[in-house]
Chain A
Amino acid sequence: MSATALDRDAAVQARVVAALAARALRSQLRRAQFLLPAFLLPLLLLAVIASGTSAARHLPGFPSTGAYVGFVVGGTLVQGALLAGLTAGIALAADIEGGFFDRLLTAPVQRVSIVLGRISASIALGVAQASLFLAVAFIFGARYQGGVAGVAIAICIAAIAAGGMAGLASAIALRTGSLSLLQNLFPIVFVFLFTAPAFFPRALLGPTLRHIAVFNPLTYVVEGIRGALHASAALGDPWKGLVAATGLLLVTTVLSVLAMRGRLRAL
């Protein structure tokens, strides 16, 4: 193939990915059973955790002026990202079971584009969620010392993490094609979440959990988000967060592409 033909093909595939992402986003936003967990659940947990206590000033590295909700919202962002990613997998499994996936497979599109469309949609969903959560927390007293840049970086990290989780969930959906299996993965999200210092600083975790947290990429994601939001190196390193989220995204994208290949081979 000539260079121009390659370019043309790349442009067509980019349009295909965009169209698939727009469609995935749209049908995900229209499904109440997806919106509830992805948007409402994290906000509820935020309210519950932030309401009882005002321990903010005792947290190492946390600005003394901030409300505790400003600390907790970092965990809310990560929780939202995980749920956004998981619902992407559920939606993909629903496509497979419902037959819509066959329509995509009979179209002359790169199989990779089908996976990338799904993951891109979750990144976009992640941006929407993180913005909402940060705004709600702001209304309830959270202040972001990192300013606009810090908020933007935090949203960015959260959205990439959402894509990473979508990759993982999509890989599972493509391997199993089972909607009910994916739906039963909700508890796993919380295992991921609570083996990272999502709502408490790492120093306050028990010794076992603290060891596990070191190996959970979400630890760096949530700490990076907090560091960016509050411009505090003691809370976390935004770069580490960005690297961890991006690494997760790359690895799980590869996993889902491999899962797609495996699925097609077994047809």
Chain B
Amino acid sequence: MSAADDQRAILVEDLVRTYPGGLRAVDGVNLEVAPGEIYGFLGPNGAGKSTTVRILTTLLRPTSGRAWVAGHDVVAEAGAARRVIGVALQEAALDPLMTGRELLRLQGALHGLRRAQASERGDDLLERVELVDAADRRVGTYSGGMRRRLDLALALVQRPRVLFLDEPTTGLDPASRAALWREVRALNADGTTVFLTTQYLEEAEQLAERVGIIDRGRIVAEGTPDELKARVGEPALHVDLVDPAEAERARELLAAHGECSHRRGGGLIVRMSGARAIAPVVRTLDEAGIEVDTVEVETPTLDDVFLAVTGHAATDDPAPEPSLSA
């Protein structure tokens, strides 16, 4: 491996994973994640997200291709890779018969901490994820959100350099989701690289500096959320008038600012050629004596991006199964 590869937190080259029966769940994935980055891995059910995560966390062998985490080959140097990663899998791997505190201590021991160190670290993390009160209850009695939080705490015991979170907020209520987002941002601010899979476009947009969209085992688009949105088109301005009868006159006036069309309810949609067209639009209408009720900027969402690059919506009916290899 070249020295340059050490510069990357995650490097994936031509990764393929075929399951028994011939299903190519991961079909030639290439990606790079820089240290300190939050990478959002976005895709619908069955896209191959978890399969990729399981390969990167040494739980699954690639059929072909290679992958490195913090410079360690996940197959040839799996032991070294395990020392630097933290993992919260999609199905939280917890023993329902143990308490949160016991699990944290065990996790510490598994990572070579001595008993006292493991207890101390465990107690710190219980506080961090707000599970102090439930610490001595069996995990079987935890709510879904509590399990997720414990699972995250367990992934942090060894202060990982690269953290893998497979759909960490699926099934969480909005408040818990927001709390987890805050936690992920705080970890990232401390220098942890985060590889996060999600089906939620909003989540990727909120957290990730770069997003890879995976569909049927292949990355179909990659970039910052803004870059991806720029591919779909310019932002549009939704203008509502106080007097809908003036809509036609307004349309004629605004044609100079971009493509302008009527919208149901008497408003107008202006597709702007430049992003900074809001002020001129309002001024033009104002000068003509047309009173503006509301103005809203509608930027394309990653949903639009997904539709544009895959030809089907992310959240619609599930994607057809990935193709079977011959």
Binding site for B on A (CB under 8 A): 12, 15-16, 18-20, 23, 26-27, 30-31, 95, 98-109, 267
Contact = CB atoms under 8 A, between A and B. Distances in A.
Nearest to B60: A267
- Max count, chain A CB within 10 A of own CB: residue among B57, B85, B92, B109: B109
A103 B97 CA distance: 15
Contact of B109 (A19, A31, A99): A19
B110 A16 contact: yes
B60 A15 contact: no
B177 interface: no
Contacts of B102: 23, 26
Interface string B82-119: 11010101011111111000100111011110100000
B59 interface: yes
Given A98-B93, A107-B82, 19 more contacts: A15-B109, A16-B112, A19-B105, A19-B106, A19-B110, A23-B95, A23-B106, A26-B102, A27-B95, A30-B138, A31-B97, A99-B91, A105-B58, A106-B57, A106-B59, A107-B110, A108-B79, A108-B83, A108-B110
B98 A23 contact: yes
B148 to A, nearest CB: 14
A102 B89 CA distance: 9
B82 A108 contact: yes
Contact of B154 (A27, A98, A103): A103
Interface of B: 57-61, 79, 82-83, 85, 87, 89, 91-98, 102, 105-107, 109-112, 114, 138, 154
A107 B107 contact: yes
Nearest to A114: B110
Contacts of A104: 110
Contacts of A95: 95
B58 A106 contact: yes
Contacts of A23: 95, 98, 102, 106
Contact of A102 (B59, B97, B112): B59
Given A30-B97, A95-B95, A105-B58, A15 B114 contact: yes
B106 A102 contact: no
Given A105-B58, A108-B111, A267-B61, A100 B93 contact: yes
A23 B96 CA distance: 12
B59 to A, nearest CB: 6
